[in-house]
Amino acid sequence: MKFNFSKYYRKDLNEKRWNLIENLKRREELSPKVIEAISILPRELFVQSSFSSKAYEDNALPIDCEQTITQPYTVAYQTTLLDIQKGDTVLEIGTGSGYQASILHILGARVFTVERIKELYEKAREIFKMLKLPIQTRFADGTIGWSQNAPFKKIIVTAAAPSVPSSLLEQLAIGGLLVIPTGERASQDMLLIEKVSEGNFLETKKERFKFVPLIGKEGWKE
C-alpha cells in the first residue's frame, strides 16, 4: 500500500498491534483488505493520549466530549459491509476521532465526513492534515446528509439512529449501500440497505452493536 505511517507508531505497542490484527484475521466475516488497512493506521493517534497504551485492545475508547472511537472489530465489520471500491464516494456521519474516515480513505474511497461537535471536528481535521489525508470534513448535523455532494455510492453512520434518516436514503446513489446501526439507545441492529432503484430499497438486518447516539433533526433529540 502507498501509505507509510510507521513514524507515528508507538514501538512499545507493536506486539499488541499484531495481536489485534491476528485476532481480526481469525474472523471469517471480515474482509482481509479492510484488516490490512487497519494494520497500517496508527490507532494510538486517534484516542485520548492517556489511553494510548490501550489503543490496540479490541474496545471502544474515550475521545473528547464524552464520545468514543469505535471498537476495531466494529470498524472492520461496518467497513466490510460497505464493500469499498477504489473511487467510491463515501459519506460518513459521525467523524469522531477521524479513524473510520481514514480507513475508508486508505481503501481508496473519496471520503466526506460530518461531525456535530466542533471540538471533535477540529481535532479530526488536524489529524487528517498531519497524516496528509485529503478527507472532506463538515461541521453540521449529519442526519440530513450533505446534499451538495450527493449522490454517494456508500454511506456509513457511526452513531446509533432511532430510525433510518430519509435524507440519507435520498442521497444514496442507485446501486449504493448504506450501513447504519438502528434501534434503541441501549443497543442496535446493524442494517445494510441497498438502493435498488429510486424509492426501492433492499434491507438486511445484521449483528447487534452498541453505539453512542446520533443526535439531530432525523436522529435522537439532545
Interface ranges with ligand SAH (CB under 6 A): 67-70, 93-94, 96-97, 99-100, 114-117, 120, 141-143, 158-159, 212, 214-216, 219
Q: How far is the CB of 63 from ligand SAH (least distance, A)?
A: 6
The residue (of 13 and 179) whose beta carbon lies closer to ligand SAH is 179
Looking at beta carbons only, is 109 or 159 nearer to ligand SAH?
159
Which residues in the chain belong to E strands, given as ranges?
Answer: 61-62, 68-69, 89-93, 110-115, 136-139, 152-157, 172-183, 188-197, 200-209
Q: What's the closest the beta carbon of residue 139 comes to ligand SAH, in angstroms? A: 9
Q: CA–CA separation, 39 vs 74, rounded Å?
A: 15
Reference 111, options 81, 146, 143, 140; nearest CA is: 146
Q: Which is nearer to ligand SAH, 11 or 166 (CB)?
A: 166
Sign of CA dihedral 118, 120, 121, 126: positive
Shortest separation between residue 180's beta carbon and ligand SAH, angstroms: 12
**Nearest distance from C-beta of residue 195 to ligand SAH, angstroms:** 21
Nearer Cβ to ligand SAH (183/219): 219
Cell readout for 154 is 456508500
Closest residue to ligand SAH, based on beta-carbon distance: 96
Please state the closest distance from residue 137 (CB atom) to ligand SAH, in A: 11
The set of cell numbers assigned to 52 is 494510548
Instruction: Quote the cell numbers at residue 187.
Output: 443497543
Nearer to ligand SAH, 177 or 202 (CB): 177
Nearer Cβ to ligand SAH (111/193): 111
- For residue 200, the minimal CB distance to ligand SAH (Å) is 26
Which residues on neighbouring strands pair with residue 138, listed in sequence order? 114
Residue 87 sits at the vertex; the CA angle it makes with 23 and 213, to the nearest 5 degrees, is: 55
In angstroms, rounded to a whole number, what is the distance separating the alpha carbons of residues 38 and 27?
A: 14
